[in-house]
Each structure stands twice: as C-alpha cells, then as structure tokens.
Amino acid sequence: MLYLSSIILQKAHKTGQNMTKHYLKHLFIASAALITGAQTFAQSPGSHSIELSGGLREYIGDMGSSLLFSKAPTYQGGGLAFAYYINPSIDAVTNLSFGEVGSTQSIAEFVIEKDILWRSFRAQTGDLSLGARYKFNNGVILSEDAKFAPYVYGALSSYYVHSLIKWGAHPHQAAVRVDPVYKSEHLVQQTITDIGFGLQGGLGFKYYLTDALSLHWQYTLTYTFNDRWDGANSPDPNPPSNENPLVHKLWRTNDAWGYHALGASINFGGSGGGGGGGSRRLKDSDEDGVPNKFDECKNTLPKYRRFVDSVGCPADSDGDGVLDADDDCMDKAGLLELNGCPDRDADGIADKLDACPTEKGTSELKGCPDTDGDGIADKDDRCPTVAGLAALNGCPDGDNDGVADIDDKCPTTPGNINAQGCPDADADGVFDNVDRCPDRKGTAASKGCPVIEEKVIEKIALNAKGINFETNKAVLLGTSFKNLNTLADILNEYPEALVEIQGHTDDEGDAAANKQLSQERAAAVTLYLQGKGIDAARLTAKGYGQEMPIADNKTKSGRDKNRRVDFVLNY
C-alpha cells in the first residue's frame, strides 16, 4: 500500500498543477484494493487497521494562514495510514499524506518593496510520519466497546515539498529580469524542492459501523523545520535588493500545513483483544476478559471477574477448593477455614502470618511457642527453658540488679551493671568479679589486693639466697629450712598472692641437664612449702637452667651467685 501511495505522489510531482485531478482516481484504486483484501486481513492474527482518507489541505506560514478554512485557497489531499494496537490506550501509527498547498498575497501585507507588487506559491507536498495515538475508548475514560472513539495523535515526520513561486514585478522597474521560459516582462518564477523533518500533531475520532469497518475524521498539522519552501523568506531575485529577504510581520516561525481528512478504516485481527487501531472487542457480557463466544460462565459475578480461567469460569489455581478471588494464598493449596492458606504446624495460624511456621505456637506470639511460659517467644528468648523478664530477653535476674543471671558474675549478690553484676565489697574501686582480695582494700594495679611492700620483697630475696642443695642434686640441705620457713610465713601474710619459684644454674656442664636440674630443685622447694601449709594452687615451679645469669660465670663467686632459687610474687 505504501508503494501505491508513492506512485500517487510521484505522479503529482510530475504533473505539477494537474495533480489534483489524479487524487480521486488513485484514491479510488487504493480503496478498491484495500476493500478487496479486507477479508484476507480479517483472518490474520494480530491487531491492526488500515485507513484511507481524503480531504482538504491548508497553508499556515509567512504568507498568511488559511487555518480552519479562514482564507482561500484550500487544496485537495489524500492519505493512507497503518495503525498497530499496543494496549487499550495506545496505537502505534505510520501515516502517509500528500496534496497541494498555496497562497497569494499583496506585498503590502508584508514589507513594502519597490520592485515587487505581489507574490504567490503553489506546492506539491508529501509527508511520512511515525507516531502514536492516545485513545479515549480505553476502558477508563470511555468503554472499549464504544462506537464513538476519539483520540489525539503525535508523530515525527519527514516531508517532501516542490514549490512553484511567482513574483509580480513593478512594470516601471527597468531592472526587472525577463524570465526565459515564460517570456513575461513583469512575472518572475522560481521553483524550490525541499526535503526535511518536522513534527506532526492532531486529533480525530472513529465511528464504528462494524467491528471490521469504521469511519473517521482527523485533523493533522505538519510543522516543518524549514522557512523557505513558500518563497516568503527567499532572496529577492531582482537586483540589487537580493540581500533583503522578505519577512512577514506576524508569522516568524517555520512553515506548516494542515490536513482535514474524512475516511474509512478497515480493522482486522482484533478478536477478543481490542482491535487494531482501536477496533472493538467481541462482546463480553460479564466483562471478565473472555468473549461470550468462548465463555462457559457468561454471568460471572464482579468479585470473580479478575480471576477466571481460559473458559471464563472462576478459577482455583492451586486446586484446594477455594476460588482464587477468595484465596489469600492462590499459589499454594491450603485450608478452607484459613481462606486457602496452608498451616504446616497445625496451630491454626496460616503460614503467611506465622512467624514460626514449622513450630506450633499461639496466636498471641504470632504462631511461635513459649516453652517457659514467660510470654516471650522461644525465638526471641535468651533463656527459653527458664522463665525470665522481657527487659532481659526472657532471662531471670536472681539478685534483681538488672543483670541477667547468665551474664552475672555475682548472681546471688546485687551488684553494678558495669561490673557484670558484682559489687565492690571492700570499696577499693575494684569490683569483686576481678578483685583478688574482695574483703581487703587494695589497688587496681595489684588486682584489688594490698600492695607488697618493697621491704617485704627484699626480705623474700634475702631468705631465698639461703636455699642450698647437695651438689648436682635436687636435695635441700638442712641449712635451708630456716629460710624456707621464713618464706612460708611471708606467703601466709599475702594469701592471695601467686608465687613462681624459679630454679637457676651456672653454665658449667650440659645446658639441657642444667635446665632439668633447675626444674627439679624448684619443684623440691614447692613441695617443702606445701608441707608448710601453702596452697599448691598458688605455687608454680619453673626451671630456667643457665638462661638467666645474674653474675659472670667465669669466676667462682659469679657461678655461686648464678646457682640460686628466686621467688616472684604477683596477683
């Protein structure tokens, strides 16, 4: 069909001013071809329409306006369009139109020029556009089945113009050029051919005679991105004024043409889908989207119309006996009493509302269990088997100090939250949970215990020097017992202090053997002190061998000093 239209346009260009007489002939031929093929189109799948039109074209530009037939002359035109249904509101449209426009004006209506009395033009035009219609019979504004179907239209357009422009020259102007073709002393002619792009907009309506055939009216305005094809802004061909283009005082924008069209549309492929270019659907009495022709339940109640199967009956997608319109879980088989939703843990709460869908619970806790009955769901309860407080995430607080028993280092004694629930019994600033001496004041550096005075440390070191062993053995000499007893008394004065008993040797002999000997001697001292009532848990024996000398091993006195036992106290 586009090929047929292009023939019409080409013929119009070739014949110039005889174009008008050919329009009706070619429109008749195109109409006959379309009507002949309509039955074939109607059998095709899809949703389309083909539209033929004829009417009048009007010029709107620098030389004036004949908008809405306000000014003669107007010219004949024709058109062909193809519309494709996208959805109930939108059609995609390809539109071809062709015809003539023109105007004649006295130059006095523009800018007075001494060499030109009047000018006119007549142009063959054609435009091809691609755009869209917004239909008002979209089921929201008007019913999709409405016989009267208005719409608005917008498109991008390409166009072709071939203009014959004439100037009437002043008869006393000596410089007037004699046209070599028309041999007229006072008439100058010029042709302009223009191809370019523009915008189209319009409005119209269809009136459906049948589902397949409708009549339509449409007004389309084609605005070209050009201001020269009507000749109004072309240079004056008569020297010396050719540098002063004629400019109209009112119309300073680009030129345009309008097209008033009446025509017919052949709609095809629109069964049950709202037809091409807005064609009407098959009758659907209950408006459930299934035409009566295929609907086995033609009186579906409004509640169920959105949820019907392929034959127009209320659907039950999950097969649970609850219709989709009543089913809160239409994609999962469920229970009638729960509006079609499943309940895996059988607690009477639908899974979609159950915070614990696989554990039987109560409605108060959104389907979750509460094993200890404290009102806190097990999933949120830190102590799910022991009743507790909501403020402590379900855990008890035996001493009511605000610290849950599982976190309380002193669970039976009220204490400080910042001290893991423990008090500071001796008020020394060290809480009982870290206080090695909770009933005696001390310092943080000594972990809450009294500081071991320097003179005591010196006394320990002095008595440690009196600890001696048999040569190369871990057997204490009797002369060591008095010093060891003194050391035991000191340790009893600081019952919370821990003691590392260190054994050391000189560097004579095998290093490994020396380390073993020092370990055995430190252990011997530990056993002796245990015998004096010192708690074994406080004592640690550590042999260092020759690793920590305090004097030069090259001299006898130095070696004697290195063979020693040291006491190191700490908390």
What DSSP string runs through 409-435?
A: SSTTS--BGGGTTB--TT-SSS-TTT-
Position 283 scores a pLDDT of 78
Q: Give the pTM.
A: 0.41
Burial class (CB in 10 A: 0-12, 13-18, 19+), 459: middle
* pLDDT of amino acid 60: 85
Whether 561 has a pLDDT exceeding 60, the answer reads yes
Model confidence band, residue 26 (pLDDT cutoffs 50, 70, 90): very low
- Report the pLDDT value the prediction gives residue 359, as an integer from 0 to 100: 94
The pLDDT of residue 512: 95
Question: Coil, strand, or helix at residue 394?
Answer: coil
Which positions ≥6 away from 470 have C-beta within 8 Å? 477
Least-confidence region, from 56-65, 233-242, 254-263, 533-542: 233-242
Alpha helices in 18-101 (DSSP H): 19-42
Q: What pLDDT score was predicted for residue 187?
A: 65
What is the secondary structure of 220-288 as a DSSP string? EEEEES-S-TTSTTSPPSSTT-TTS----SS--S--EEEEEEEEEEEEES-TTT--GGGPPPPP-TT-S
Residue that has been written with the tokens 């283009």 in this structure: 245
For residue 441, what are the contacts with CB-CB under 8 A and spacing of at least 6? 426, 427, 428, 448, 450
Query: What's the chain's length in residues?
Result: 571
- What is the per-residue pLDDT for 44? 35
Of all residues in the chain, the percent with pLDDT exceeding 70 is: 79
**Band (365; pLDDT cuts 50, 70, 90):** very high
What mean pLDDT, rounded, does the chain reach? 81
Domains of the chain, first to last: 2-269 (2.40.160.20), 316-369 (no CATH), 454-570 (3.30.1330.60)
